[in-house]
Structure 1
Amino acid sequence: MNSRKESRFHPQHPLWYEDLAPRSSPIDEDQDFDGMCFNEDVTAVDENYLEISRESSFMRGGGILFAIMLFSVYGWNLVPDIFRSGFSWFQPSLLIGILSLCVATASIILTLKLLYLDLRLPRDTPIRFNRKTQKIYVYEFVKPKYWFQLWRTEIKVHDWNCIEAELIKIAGYTGKAYVVRHELLLVVCRPGTNEVVDRISLKGLEPLDAILAEMWAGMRRFMEGGPDAVPGIETKVREIGFLYSLFAYMPYLSPSEAGIRFRNSMRWHDWGLACITIWFFWLWFPLGICHHFAISCAPEPQWPIGIDAESRSLQSP
């Protein structure tokens, strides 16, 4: 439990939970470290760079499922009434009619926005940590300034010596259970200060904050000592197909190679969480089917040639 009541970074994030160890603080080399804490998110690693996937931080398929449910409700309730004798678009009460129209319009706009993100967000938005250049390279899908503008891809490059880390916490009651999720943010500060100029989400949707703290420790170890300083680190199995999507939200049940590796890396708290979440299979399977359609439409990330070479240390910056 975090004992600090406020962050050392300013401005403070509204959902701030905990500041993680400073990037420049000493690393305890004698402490056992298990690189498996972020194996499911590592897509590439060598002596020069480490690439972290952020695919697991986005619930792909949710937009499609929400759109199906919403338009099914509207179709079930509205379409029969349209063909009913005596139907009128104008309600007896003008206020009720206006409110109904506003609610319907807002829900449709929100649904179309979620559907757009589901289908057009790149299959992955990775972050590369490069020891040679001492920089991080972020493949970002940026939210526009105005709601009517489309999202766009942006490449962000930051010096490693300006990077710190913090956790934010999202909690709420769903009506049946109290849900807690933590997210690891990379905090980009002005050199020599704690003044924040940018925040970058590295991993979210994580029930346990300790896993994210280990992940940050792994980043620091790699940038200082390379892959040898992060024992046990392995790249994830990249799969695309219906079977992969079907078990996307229950990987511990997947019969594929990725499922086997996931089960082998599970710790005691992962098994406990699996025993709880498996009862929501009625939601995970439809989400998995929608995940397949969303991932089939999503574009592959395309790094600019110069940045791609630099971030993988094929050439000096």
Structure 2
Amino acid sequence: MTAGFRYEISTPRDEPIRFNRARQKIYAYNFTYCWWNPFKRWPIEVVSYDWAQVRAERWRKRARTPQGITIDKQGVMLSIIQPDTTNEVVDRFQLSTPNVDDLVWKYICLYMQRGPSALPPPPPPKNHDDIPWYNISKNLAPKVQWQKDIDIESRTAP
């Protein structure tokens, strides 16, 4: 089994992040893989952090192909800082797919500060387990399964 194929069928279908305004926490479905060791078990860990620990980092990557085409990618990472230190990062999450702009971060901040009434209506929720039939590797990948206690905590008020 090649490492690339294993990556495709071992990674979860999605790595969602939940924002709980009532608890002022975020919950992340964290997946860590080791590209150089195909025999190591790739763990999934659900973590939660206080909203006060969250910072956004905008990133940009520019690459040039051998054909001379410039590819420009950008996105927003959520960085979790140590609560008792100055900006020491303890964890990072990709907020969304590459090329997302900072409007997503502003939307989340507005939700966490003022609530859903301050926001325009969101689009209908996407079921991340709806994978097209022809994407065989993602159909073989494990579905996102939150631990029962974390699932309840991340969706309810204290």
TM-score by length of 2: 0.86
Shift of 1:293: 0.4
**SS in structure 1 at match of 2:98:** strand
Within a 5 Å distance, the mapping from 1:50-129 to structure 2 comes to 112-129=2-19
8 A contact 1:171–1:179 mirrored in 2: yes
Where structure 1 has 5 or more consecutive residues not aligned to the other structure, the ranges are 1-108, 243-288
More helix by share: 1
**Which one is further off, 304-313 or 192-201?**
192-201
Are 1:180 and 2:76 matched, yes or no? no
1:230 partner letter: L
Residue from 132, 135, 147 that aligns with 1:304: 147
Deviation at 1:232, TM superposition (A): 3.1
* Residue among 106, 111, 126 paired with 1:217: 106
1:130-279 maps to which residues of 2 (within 5 A)? 130-144=20-34, 147=37, 148-176=39-67, 177-191=69-83, 193-206=86-99, 211-238=100-127, 239-242=130-133
Opposite residue 152 of structure 2, the aligned amino acid is A
SS in 2 for 1:308: helix
What is the CA-CA distance between 1:198 and the residue it aligns to?
A: 1.6
Distance 1:237 1:136, change over 3 A: closer
- Computed over aligned residues only, the root mean square deviation of the Cα atoms, in angstroms, reads 2.1
Give 1 or 2 for the bigger CA radius of gyration: 1
Q: Which has the higher strand share?
A: 2
Cα distance in 2, alignment partners of residues 115 and 194 from structure 1:
37
Gaps of 5+ in 2: none
Q: Rate the CA distance shift 1:175–1:232 in 2: closer, same or farther, 3 A.
A: farther
Amino acid of the structure 1 residue aligned with 2:123: E
**Moved segments of 4+, more than 4 Å:** none
Query: 1:196 offset after TM fit, Å?
Result: 1.5
Supply the distance in 1 between the matched residues of 2:153 and 2:107 (Cα, whole angstroms): 22
2 CA distance for matches of 1:156 and 1:114?
26
Indicate the percent of aligned positions where both proteins have the same amino acid.
Answer: 32
> Under a length normalisation based on structure 1, what TM-score does the superposition of the two structures give?
0.45
Separation in structure 2 between the aligned mates of residue 181 and residue 146 of structure 1, nearest angstrom: 25
Number of residue pairs matched? 153
Does the aligned pair in 2 maintain the 1:135–1:159 contact within 8 Å? Answer: yes
Task: Tell me by how many angstroms 1:145 deviates.
Answer: 9.5
Alpha-carbon deviations, 1:207-230, whole Å to 9, x = none? xxxx52101000100101222222
Which one-letter code corresponds to 1:214 in the other structure? Answer: L
Alignment of 1:37-48 (within 5 A): none
Q: Aligned with 1:222: secondary structure?
A: helix
The SS at the match of 2:102 is helix
Task: Kindly state the Cα deviation for residue 305 of structure 1 after the two structures are TM-superposed.
Answer: 0.6
Within 2, Cα distance between the matches of 1:196 and 1:203? 19
**SS of corresponding position for 1:154:** strand
Query: C-alpha distance in 2, partners of 1:221/1:121?
Result: 31
